[in-house]
Amino acid sequence: MAGSGFYEVSFEARVVGTHRGPGEAGALGDAGGKPGRNGWTAVGTDDTAPYRVFPDVSGLGAGTKLEFRAVVLDLKGHTRQAKSRKVSVPQPSLTIQSPAEGAKVRDSVTVSAVADPERATHVVSFERSVAGGPWTPIGSDDSSPVYTAVDDISGLGEAGGGLAAGTAIAYRAKLTGPGVGGTVTSAVRTVVAAGPPSTTATLHYFRPAGDYTAWGLHLWGDAVDPAVLAQIAWDKPWPLTRLDGGWAEYEIPLADDTKPVNFIMHQPSGDSVPDTREPGGDRSFTPLDSPDVYLVQGDPTVYTSQPPTP
């Protein structure tokens, strides 16, 4: 809108056509006030450029056709109406929230999805494909707003002995129900079979000067073997196992590789960053996702592959 004066723009909308099944909405509902002449409903007013409102059309079925118009009012009482525009309500979106793309999985996988907008009438079904094979149903859920299914993969693979490490497992979700306008399918989420549990994790630590004397790990959490935890105190960190190619390696025996290994790299009783304790505070990693991690002196990042070194 040209000019720098004060303007007030009012917006109206009306339903001009629907594409819905039994029980689906066919009115603006909470989008604005009561319908007026010819079905026009006030959906908001704005006096600050860019002039806009955000009517709620979540109660309308997918494919419902809407018409919007705007009327501008200036300080002198002049009004002008913009040419109306017609649009259609789109289908809801469906997004898988978990598991994370590329995650390593074992035994069972919790698959969850959300719809936008979500309705109590939605039903979401989940499917799985192993190594590019056919899609297999694994469950359905109607408990909005988060839809969940748990997939037992422990009996998959040859003779039900489990999937080989590195096997790709793809998941997708499908949304149906009143107002959806057919079936909405999510993007595919792919994870990787982890294989047998890891019994040891290795933390690799690099100091440019090679001065590793007394540097060790304070460890805690359910991932670490209790026999190891029993040997560790603040004044007695877990020592390095070996030096290899300029890196100190700390082997950590595990009790459960699906839980986080929590750690602090420091010297005995050391709590002064950076002289006797590395920055980053309490850090962690999950061996199921990465049994080898890397630290560099003065860098708070926990790397899952060997980074460049100074």
Which tens digits make up the pLDDT trace of 117-150?
888 889 999 999 999 999 999 999 999 899 999 9
Give the list of residues 6+ apart from residue 94 with CB closer than 8 angstroms, or none: 113, 114, 115, 124, 173, 174, 175, 184, 185, 186
13/11 Cα distance (integer angstroms):
7
Is 2 within the bounds of a domain?
A: no
Please tell me the total count of domains within the chain.
Answer: 3
35/195 Cα distance (integer angstroms):
61
> Is there a single domain that holds both residue 149 and residue 219?
no
What's the pLDDT score for residue 120? 87
What letter does residue 158 receive in the DSSP assignment?
G
pTM for the model: 0.72
pLDDT in tens, the chain (310 residues): 555 567 899 999 999 865 544 344 445 644 445 555 678 999 999 999 899 999 888 778 888 899 999 999 888 888 888 899 999 888 899 999 999 999 999 999 999 999 988 888 899 999 999 999 999 999 999 998 999 999 999 999 887 778 999 999 999 999 998 888 889 999 999 999 998 999 999 999 999 999 999 999 999 999 999 999 999 999 999 999 999 999 999 999 999 999 999 999 999 999 999 999 999 999 999 999 999 999 999 999 999 999 999 8
233/216 Cα distance (integer angstroms):
11
| Structural domain of 59 | 7-88
Is the preceding omega at residue 196 within 30 degrees of 0, hence cis?
A: no
178/9 Cα distance (integer angstroms):
34
Give me the CATH number covering residue 97: 2.60.40.10
SS3 category, 226: helix
> Is there a single domain that holds both residue 276 and residue 236?
yes
Choosing from 133, 159, 193, the residue where a domain stops is: 193
What's the pLDDT score for residue 34? 57
**Amino acid code (one letter) for 121:** T
Choosing from 88, 112, 129, the residue where a domain stops is: 88
Which residue do the tokens 């079936």 mark? Answer: 183
What's the pLDDT score for residue 18? 57
The helix (H) or strand (E) run that includes residue 228 is: helix 226-229
Which residue do the tokens 């420091």 mark? Answer: 266
